[in-house]
Amino acid sequence: MMRALVLVAALGTFADARPAPGRRLAIDTPVEAFLPQFRAAISRVIYLERCEGGCRVNGGSVNDAKTLTSTIPSPGNYNITEFENAGGQSGAQADAEWAQIVTCMKEVYSPFDVEVTDVKPSSGSYHLAIIAGNPQEIRLEANVLGVAPLASNCAAFDNVISFSFSSAHRQSETAAHVQNVCWTAAQESAHAFGLDHEFEFVDGRSACSDPMTYRMDCGGQKFFRNVAARCGEEELRDCRCSNVQSSHRNLVALFGAGTSLTGAPTVTMTPATGGGPLPANVIATAFAKRGVAKLELFLNGFPMTTVPGAPFGANGQLEASYGLVPPATMPDSIYDVFVRATDDLGTFTDTPTITVTKNAPCTSADACLAEQKCEAGKCSWDPPVGELGDTCGFDQFCKGLLCRGTADLQICTQTCSVEDPLSCPQDMSCNNGVCFFTEGGCCSAAPGDWMPAGLLAFLVMIVVLGPFSRAKPFRAPP
In tens, the pLDDT along 227-285 reads: 999 999 999 999 999 999 999 999 999 999 999 999 999 999 999 999 999 999 999 99
Question: By percentage, how much of the chain surpasses pLDDT 70?
Answer: 87
Q: Average pLDDT of 417-428?
A: 89
Enumerate residues 6+ apart whose C-beta is below 8 A from 332: 358, 359, 360, 361, 362, 367
> Could you tell me how far CA 248 lies from the centroid of its own chain?
6
Counting Cβ atoms within 10 Å, is residue 211 exposed (0-12), middle (13-18) or buried (19+)?
buried
CA nearest 335: which of 376, 366, 284? 376
SS3 201: strand
Cα distances from 467 to residues 317, 328, 398, 462, in angstroms, run 33, 12, 15, 8
Backbone angles phi, psi at 455, to 5 degrees: -65, -40
User: Peptide bond before 36: cis, by omega within 30 degrees of 0?
Assistant: no
For residue 176, give every residue at least 6 positions away whose Cβ sits within 8 Å of its Cβ, in sequence order, or none: 19, 86
Bridge-based pairing of strands 55-59 and 76-80 is antiparallel
Across the strands, what pairs with 267? 286
> Which of the two residues, 341 and 459, has the higher pLDDT score?
341
For residue 147, report the phi and psi dihedrals to the nearest 5 degrees: -160, 145
Helix, strand, coil percentages, rounded to 5, for the chain: 20, 30, 55
Residue 477: pLDDT above 70?
no
Q: Which CATH architecture has domain 266-380?
A: Sandwich (2.60)
Model confidence, pTM = 0.86
- As a whole number, mean pLDDT of residues 88-112 equals 98
Cα 450 from Cα 409, distance rounded (Å): 10
| Distance from C-alpha of 32 to C-alpha of 20, rounded to nearest angstrom | 36
Residue 21 confidence (pLDDT): 52
pLDDT for the residue numbered 442: 52
